[in-house]
Structure formats: structure tokens, C-alpha cells
A and B are shown apart, each in its own frame.
Chain A
Amino acid sequence: MLTKRIIPCLDIKDGRTVKGTNFVNLRDAGDPVELGAIYAREGADELVFLDITATVDERKTLIELVRKVAHTVNIPFTVGGGISSIADVSALLNAGADKISINSSAVRNPDLVDELAQEFGSQCIVVAIDTRFVDGEHIVHTHGGRRPTELRTLAWAKEIENRGAGEILLTSMDTDGTKAGFAIELTAQISGAANIPVIASGGAGSMAHFVDVFTTGKADAGLAASIFHFKEIEIPALKRFLSQQGIPMRTTA
């Protein structure tokens, strides 16, 4: 049976993880390669590396990092942040990334989604949507959720699917950082309408929140950052709990 996926997200700046972590057994808490490898060993189903820097020099650092991750980790991983061209994607895939994620650049230039899907195949093109509830409507935002666009979230999700996106990474800026649970209703609406997988992000604070997002929320995958980094929730325990709740999970021997 196809399982639901648990995905830790690592924020990267200058080739290092940004937010602190609580891994006592980590030699270097800022090393994304080591942290990624630990998550993979613990049973994470995929990894997302989000580069929050943008300068040319820092891109080179990112490529080097991607190469190291690919050498170390034997599960799929996605790289996102500052990607706006076929050349950017080509460099990341050649360095060993399995998928890339675009966000603001897709909003600025929706044709980019078609171009990337045609060039590299839909399977490696994730489109991230940052959304916020404004005046009774879910509106797509850019710039880390600060800048509203004209786009309605559901219509935009359908559009990027039609343009060839392989997956949607849906982050609710309303729930992000609150630890009060995922945006269940919105996730269910988007996942119910899309025929591509939806990764829900923003708001995970307890194991029960993952149950909600996988059942009522119809999400195909759940993504979180700090709760994993600070070991508030450990992945093996989370997957055991979800299994017991009847949610299909990949078990690793």
C-alpha cells in the first residue's frame, strides 16, 4: 500500500542549517549533511533542503552541499530556494538532487513550470505555495508569506498541476510556526481537487496533528522543521504512532 510520507525540512544558509537543533549526538549541529543522514536513518521518507540565501557565491556552496548530501543519503531529497531558471535546475539535478522546488519564480513566470516539466519531467518539479487567509479567501503569497499576490490558492494549485508540476508543497502562513496544527480544511480542499500529491506544511505541533492532516486533510505527505530539529517529536515514535492509528507508513527494518 502506498504510504503517507514524513518529511523533515532543513533551512540552509551558507551551506549550514539555520535553525538550531537539539541533536546531542550530532558532532556538528549546523551540518546539513549529517543531520540529513540522521533523519534518513531514523526513517524519514524524504528530505527537503531550503536555501534561504541567494547570492552567486552562496549558490556554489549550495551545489557543493547537494553533492555531499547525494553521496550520503539514500532516500529522495528536494532542494528549493532561489531557483528561477532551467540552468539553476540543471545544476542542482546534476549535483544529485532528486527534485527541485520553486515558489516565487513560478508566480512571477508561470511558464517556467511548463518549461521545467518539459525539460526534466514532472516527477522532479515541486511547486511550493505559501498561502494566507485574507478577507475570507485563501491567497497565494510570496517573499516568505509577506507579499500577497492576485492568485487564489485553489485556482493556482490547479494551474500549476495543468502546467506540469509533479507535487505541491502547501504551506499555510496562518498556521506556520504556531504548532497548533496544520491547515486541515485548506489542505483537504487542495488535495481533493489536485490529482498530484500534496505535501502539507505549517503548524505541526503534535503527533495527533499528523493524524488529522493525513485523514481529514487528505495530505499525501506532512512536512515539519523545528519539532523534528528540537526532538519535540521523534520520527520513529511518530511513524509508530501513525501506524497504530491505521495510517499507512513505511516501516524500516
Chain B
Amino acid sequence: MKTVIIKYNAGNVQSVMYALERIGASYLLTDDEAEIRSADKVIFPGVGEASTAMAYLRQRGLDKVIPSLKQPVLGTCVGMQLLCRYSEEGNTTCMGVFDVDVRRFPATPGFKVPHTGWNNLTTMQGPLTEGLTENPYVYFVHSYCADVCPETIAVCDYVRPFSAMLHRDNFYAAQFHAEISGNVGQRILENFLDVDKRT
């Protein structure tokens, strides 16, 4: 099986690489269109600022490549946000795979932003959270989030309920960092890597 991690200017790619190594999965880190298209699974990670990341993807034509992929794709953190319609961060038009916008957490007394730490998932659906215990904890660090929408497959609550995971066709996304979310995160990555056997 060929797993590709999309290489771009967003940080945190290392953590994803190590997580795959821990579960014994091989991968290729690349921004080459042909390599990405020929992959069995594609992981689109991300940490950083949305408009800068989107500009970089546009320069390399990856903003057209990614939404047209047919194999299972997993976007994480900023990678998930860039798959949405629009992000308030840097007033950024994103790739529009998911029919939802990304907005900043409103300033609310008692809630620090970024939302940092372990929080739990609720109302989980679909193959990626298969085998997990009820309301499992995963690790979040983010200041922007997607509202709950028809494509939401897991909800988290901070200030208000938001989309912790999204799914449409072959596209999956997680707002949290599965790569450092303990055994729960590890299981989600494993589930993604054999998602075609689970659907």
C-alpha cells in the first residue's frame, strides 16, 4: 500500500511521519502530483496560518489536485480547515470539499483561545472511529473551527459544539492531532489506513 503525506509549507509533518512509523506504515512525503495521484491513501496534515498555506498550495496547483483525488484522503487540523469552503483566518477561500465555513472561537470568559489540550469526541459515526470507547479523548490545538454540519462525523464541545471530524465521499478530516492523541489517535490512523476494508 502506498501512503502519501502531502508536503507543503505547513509544520508538523514530522509528527505525522513518526506516528505512521509507530504503527509500522510506510509513507512517502511529496508534493509531486503524479506521486499523489498514484497513492492508495493520502494524508494532508497542517499546522500554521490558513492564508499562507492556501497561497502555497495554489502556487503549486495542489489546490486543484487535492479536491479531485479519488482515493481516501485524510486532512488534519489546518489540513481539515483548508478542505472547507472558507476560513476567517486571513479571509481565505479554501478548497470547498466540505460544505462548511471555518470561524474563530468567539472571545468568551473562561475559555482560552487556542483551544489547547485533551477534549472528548461525541456523536461519532463511520469507519474512522470504529473500535473506540465512548467519548474518547483526543488532543486539540486550534483557534478556528468548523461548525457542526451534515458532513460532521464527530462533535467536540468548546465554547460551543463544533466539527471534530468531517466526511464526504472519499474525504475524511480531523480537527485534532490524531498523530499525538495516544492510543485513540493511533486507532483512528489505523482505521483510516484500511478504511476501504471498513466501508
Contact = CB atoms under 8 A, between A and B. Distances in A.
Interface of A: 1-3, 5, 40, 45, 70-72, 74-76, 93-96, 98, 120-124, 166-167, 194-197, 220-221, 250-253
B18 A123 contact: no
B117 to A, nearest CB: 5
Contact of B47 (A1, A2, A121): A121
7 tightest Cβ-Cβ pairs between the two chains A and B: A250-B118, A250-B137, A123-B141, A70-B18, A2-B119, A76-B180, A253-B133
A194 B182 CA distance: 28
B contacts with A: majority SS: mixed
A contacts with B: majority SS: loop
Contacts of B21: 71
Nearest to B107: A195
Interface in B126-170: 133, 136-137, 139, 141-142, 157-158
B22 interface: yes
A72 B22 CA distance: 7
B11 A195 contact: no
Interface of B: 11, 14-15, 18-19, 21-22, 47-49, 112-120, 133, 136-137, 139, 141-142, 157-158, 177, 179-183, 185-186
17 contacts: A1-B157, A5-B117, A45-B118, A70-B15, A70-B18, A71-B18, A74-B19, A75-B181, A76-B139, A76-B180, A96-B15, A123-B114, A123-B116, A124-B11, A166-B114, A197-B117, A221-B117
Contacts of B114: 122-123, 166, 196
A201 B39 CA distance: 46
A96 B11 CA distance: 11
Nearest to A194: B112
Give the interface centre of A95, A121, A123 by most chain B CB atoms within 10 Å: A123
A96 B117 contact: no
A14 to B, nearest CB: 23
Given A1-B119, A220-B116, 19 more contacts: A1-B157, A2-B117, A3-B117, A3-B119, A3-B137, A5-B117, A40-B182, A71-B18, A71-B21, A74-B179, A74-B183, A93-B14, A98-B15, A121-B11, A121-B47, A123-B142, A124-B47, A220-B117, A252-B183
A214 to B, nearest CB: 12
A197 B112 contact: yes
Give the interface centre of A74, A76, A251 by most chain B CB atoms within 10 Å: A74
Contact of A98 (B113, B180, B183): B180
B117 A70 contact: no
Contacts of A252: 137, 182-183
A196 B182 CA distance: 23
A3 B119 CA distance: 6
Give the interface centre of B49, B115, B118 by most chain A CB atoms within 10 Å: B118
A74 B117 contact: no
A93 B11 contact: yes
A197 B116 contact: yes
Contact of B14 (A72, A96, A196, A253): A96
